[in-house]
Amino acid sequence: MTLAVPHPSWRRLEPLAAHWRTRRQLELLGPRPHRDPCEFAILGDVEPCRFRLLRLVFNRPRVFARQLLAIQEGPAAFCVQLGDMVGRGSPRFYARFLEELGGLGVKKPYLTVIGNHDRSQPNGPSDSALYRHLFGPCNYAFDFGPARFVMLDTSFHRLRRAQLRWLERVLETHRRKIIFTHMGPVQLGLWGGSVAHAHGGFSRGAREFTELVSSMNVDRVYLGHVHAFGVQDYLGVRYVLTGGGGSALFPVGAPDRFHHYLMVSVDQRGIRERVHPLEGRPFEVPPGTVLLPPVEPTWPARVAHRARRLVNGGI
């Protein structure tokens, strides 16, 4: 990992970011005994699209604000944002986001996962230095109530061996195990078609990840990146795609594209999700197994890269 020297413009962001640092938010959350149930909220991608034309065509203003304010009125102990907070991980974009977040009067702890847009560049060579400077580590875990919550960095379209070793260590617990990450493993059949999968998931480390979370009896993996909703059980683990936090709903082939957030209840009996659409009535996610045909990545890396460029379109 390359250590970047903080730019003077980063220093100017520190007062805006101080309250939202992960360590501070976890202090606000405080402990909860492992036998006590808990509820929390999940928001998927919220960046409004950095390209003006696409923003005008596909984006709806203030969706993120409306949904985050609705979460403040509910029973959630905390909120997890699954990455892509900003259009690009530059000081200008982060300043705009932090100013909006500070102006909304958010009281509940707000925990973040890094997405590809939160890096110095959304696609191609990039780094996570500014995110880490503002918020803290990209990979972290904490216990709250009956669960261990794990935030995992897949923002660079991959998982490194060191991350997998760390993940195996933190999953050694008798609590329920819940993982939050921006991108899903590429072989999930959530989005269909090799082009969509080349764009919508990570391939390096994907097989090792799915096998590890299966062997460690992980209860849930929550994903963003694709601006849609979906559920799939793979190797005995339930994956929930919830990318409708406020970003533009691009026509990427996913059938269930709507703005929403999740409310999740965890207790000794299990985990239950309730989907809260921006428009329409909330509904429960059925507990029954959802099996979709897996997609095994067979294309060369250069073909996958070309596919990602073809469907890039600001996502």
The tens-digit pLDDT sequence of the chain (315 residues) is: 445 567 788 999 999 999 999 999 999 999 999 999 999 999 999 998 766 666 665 678 899 999 999 999 999 999 999 999 999 999 999 999 999 999 999 999 999 999 999 999 888 889 999 999 999 999 999 999 999 999 999 999 999 999 999 999 999 999 999 999 999 998 886 654 444 545 578 989 999 999 999 999 999 999 999 888 999 999 999 999 999 999 988 776 556 889 999 999 999 899 999 999 999 999 999 988 887 766 554 434 443 444 444 434 333
Say how many CA atoms lie within 13 Å of 230 toward its Cβ. Answer: 26
Nearest to 240 by CA among 80, 124, 34, 111: 80
Tell whether 230 is covered by a domain: yes
Q: What is the DSSP letter of 155?
A: T
Q: What is the CATH number of the domain that holds 269?
A: 3.60.21.10
Specify whether the CB–CB gap between 118 and 156 falls below 8 A: no
Q: What is the DSSP letter of 170?
A: H
pLDDT at 307: 40
CA dihedral sign, ordered 59, 61, 62, 63: negative
Q: Angle 243-90-157 (CA atoms, 0-180°, nearest 5)?
A: 45
- pTM for the whole structure: 0.89
Domain count along the chain: 1
Tell whether 1 is covered by a domain: no
Specify whether the CB–CB gap between 175 and 146 falls below 8 A: yes
Tell whether 151 is covered by a domain: yes
Tell whether 2 is covered by a domain: no
pLDDT at 192: 47
Q: Which residues contact 25 (CB under 8 A, 6 or more apart)?
A: 78, 109, 110, 111
pLDDT at 311: 38
Q: Can you point out the beta strands (E) in 91-139?
A: 110-112
Tell whether 165 is covered by a domain: yes
Tell whether 315 is covered by a domain: no
Tell whether 182 is covered by a domain: yes
271 membership: H or E segment, kind and range: strand 270-277
Residue 33, both tokens: 């005994």
Residue 289: φ, ψ to 5°: -65, 135
Range of the domain at 169: 8-310
Tell whether 126 is covered by a domain: yes
